[in-house]
Amino acid sequence: MHFADYIYNVPFAGGFNKAYYMPGKKDGKWDYFNYAGRKLERDKFEEWKTKYYKFEGWDTETGWPTRSALEDVGLKHVADELEKNDKLGNKYTSIPWILRGMFV
């Protein structure tokens, strides 16, 4: 799954008052920082996205769930339907579903 380039190239404009404060950590201290004007860093975001897809048991190339991931949570009928429409992920690289809740 790929995102449009503007996600990485256009700075976030902030809320209606142009400021967007969120908690963050700097020099070991938590504080609130204005994140208006920030952009996603493509490499870091792609790395995070790949880790998330693996964690969920989704295909890391397409972002689609795999049959194993869906069947692990009782969604065989969804896997069957996605397979009919050629939208089922192929690569299962996740930890078992029973362990996923331990890390959330």
Which tens digit of pLDDT belongs to each residue from 71-93?
A: 999 999 999 999 999 999 986 54
**29 three-state secondary structure:** strand
Residues 6+ apart with CB under 8 A from 103: 55, 95
Domain range list for the chain: 11-39, 41-104
pLDDT < 50 positions in the chain: 93-94, 97, 100, 103-104
DSSP assigned state of 101:
G
Does the reported pTM lie above 0.75? no
pLDDT of 1? 58
Residue with tokens 């996603």: 40
Q: What is the dihedral of CA 85, 48, 72, 68, to 10 degrees?
A: 50
- Rounded to the nearest 10 degrees, how much is the dihedral formed by the CA atoms of 24, 25, 30, 34? -40
